[in-house]
């Protein structure tokens, strides 16, 4: 049976394959090639990796991204799953209204949302002035985006652009849970909270893992948010805040494509390790349960 599934699935992935090869696999191979060679094309072993690691901006950039990704993933898992579970327990009309409301901030994609956030973070014009002043203690834009606040601010921006979409996905996942299971649990005397935590949560575990893998990769590759805030703040935020920005600067300010590729490969490695851990720990691709 398993052998037959492959050719049957092929037409479904076929339209995707050429794009995967041209825009995914080929650039990866190119990056690997650049990362292990020098500017003249000679084999450089790990020289580019050592060199970029020694760069004074390398460690801070990875520290930023570590904190940012942790905060963001934690918010994503707890709040998205929490809200989806809450919604799933509501009557249909209420829940569809809320799904729509949660989804709305996500309609402001990427760069556009950052521009809105720039206003949100400026205490002079922000409708959330009260929060900025009392939570962040900021009366100036420069104080809102103080270095210590940045990982949390970027996590918040990323959360609100992505959360709505994931809530919809999780809601869809919850709908795949057979109704009889829930019914049976209720008859056995489980409370709504028990149903949510003991029954629904384990059944959408793979979806959560899927969300975490994708978000982890996106998180470590953060670029647009710090880049735009850097430009909008006229340089108050360094232009090498995240590793991806550092790679961009190396490539385009210093013409060091090999160094940039080395950082790209670092990020690829981190993404692969992260994905491997999550896949093996959650049994994402196990089909027999």
Partner 1 sequence: MKINRRAFALVALVAAIAASLVSATAGGAARHAGVSGSLTVWVDSVRLPAAKLYAKTHPNVKLHIVTFDGDGNGATTLQAKIQLWNRTGNGWPDVIFSEQVNDPVWMASKPFDYAANLEGGVFPEKIINQIPKPSIAQCTVNGHLVCVQDNLAPEVLYYNKKLMTQFGYQVPTTWQQWAQIGDDVAKNHPGYIIGTVGDSYGHWLYLWADQCPLSTLKSANTVLINASDPHCTRMASLLDPLIANKSVSDVTVFSPDFAKQYGGDADKVLMMPGPAWYALAVFRDTLKLPAGEWTATTPLRWGTEPVVTGQVGGGPWIISKHTKNMAAAVDFVQWNVAGAKLNTKVANYSAIAPGLPSYTPAATAWLNWLGKDPFFASPPGAAIGKAANQIWQGWGLVTYPDQPVWSNSVVTQLVAGKSLSSLLPALGQGLSQAAQAAGYKVVSK
Binding stretches for partner 1 (CB under 8 A):
55-57, 122-125, 140-143, 145-147, 230-231, 233-239, 248-249, 251-255
> Least distance from C-beta 128 to partner 1, angstroms?
15
One DSSP character per residue, 211-254 reads: HHHHHHHHHHT--HHHHHHHHHTTTSS-TTSSHHHHHHHHHHTS
For residue 43, what are the β-bridge partners?
Answer: 37
Q: Which C-beta is closer to partner 1: that of 57 or that of 206?
A: 57
User: What tokens does 173 get?
Assistant: 């996942």
Q: Which C-beta is closer to partner 1: that of 63 or that of 253?
A: 253
Rounded Cα distance between 107 and 75, Å, is 19
Sign of the dihedral defined by the CA atoms of residues 271, 277, 279, 280, in that order: positive
Q: Which C-beta is closer to partner 1: that of 182 or that of 256?
A: 256
> Least distance from C-beta 69 to partner 1, angstroms?
22
> Least distance from C-beta 137 to partner 1, angstroms?
10
Q: Which C-beta is closer to partner 1: that of 226 or that of 274?
A: 226
> Least distance from C-beta 154 to partner 1, angstroms?
15
Rounded Cα distance between 197 and 208, Å, is 14
Rounded Cα distance between 179 and 282, Å, is 24
> Least distance from C-beta 85 to partner 1, angstroms?
40
Torsion angle of the four alpha carbons 180, 181, 186, 191, in this order, in degrees rounded to the nearest 10: -150
Q: How remote is the C-alpha of 187 from its chain's centroid? A: 39
Q: Which C-beta is closer to partner 1: that of 101 or that of 140?
A: 140
> Least distance from C-beta 46 to partner 1, angstroms?
20
DSSP 37: B
8 A C-beta contact, residue 120 and residue 127: yes
Cβ burial of 155 (10 Å; 0-12, 13-18, 19+) is buried
> Least distance from C-beta 45 to partner 1, angstroms?
22
8 A C-beta contact, residue 141 and residue 124: yes
Torsion angle of the four alpha carbons 263, 264, 269, 271, in this order, in degrees rounded to the nearest 10: 120
Helix, strand, or coil (residue 56): coil
Q: Which C-beta is closer to partner 1: that of 198 or that of 253?
A: 253
Q: Which C-beta is closer to partner 1: that of 102 or that of 117?
A: 117
Q: Which C-beta is closer to partner 1: that of 259 or that of 274?
A: 259
């Amino acid at each position: 049976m398993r052998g037959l599934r492959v050719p049957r699935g092929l037409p479904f992935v076929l339209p995707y394959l050429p794009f995967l090869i041209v825009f995914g696999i080929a650039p990866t191979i190119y990056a690997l090639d650049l990362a292990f060679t020098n500017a003249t094309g000679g084999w450089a072993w790990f020289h580019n990796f050592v060199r970029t690691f020694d760069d004074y901006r390398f460690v801070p950039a990875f520290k930023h991204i570590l904190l940012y990704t942790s905060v963001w993933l934690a918010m994503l898992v707890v709040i998205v799953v929490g809200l989806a579970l809450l919604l799933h327990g509501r009557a249909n009309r209420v829940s569809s209204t809320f799904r729509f409301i949660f989804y709305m901030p996500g309609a402001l994609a990427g760069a556009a949302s950052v521009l809105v956030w720039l206003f949100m973070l400026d205490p002079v014009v922000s409708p959330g002035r009260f929060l900025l002043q009392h939570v962040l203690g900021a009366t100036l834009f420069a104080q809102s985006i103080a270095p210590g606040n940045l990982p949390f601010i970027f996590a918040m921006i990323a959360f609100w652009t992505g959360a709505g979409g994931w809530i919809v996905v999780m809601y869809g996942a919850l709908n795949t849970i057979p109704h009889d299971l829930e019914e049976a649990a209720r008859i056995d005397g489980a409370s709504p909270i028990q149903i949510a935590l003991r029954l629904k949560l384990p059944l959408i575990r793979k979806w959560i893992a899927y969300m975490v893998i994708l978000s982890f990769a996106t998180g470590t590759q953060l670029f647009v948010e710090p880049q735009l805030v850097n430009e909008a703040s006229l340089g108050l935020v360094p232009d090498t805040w995240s590793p991806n920005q550092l790679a961009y600067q190396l490539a385009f300010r210093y013409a060091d494509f090999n160094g940039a590729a080395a950082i790209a490969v670092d990020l690829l490695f981190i993404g692969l390790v992260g994905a491997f851990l999550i896949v093996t720990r959650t049994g994402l691709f196990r089909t027999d349960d």
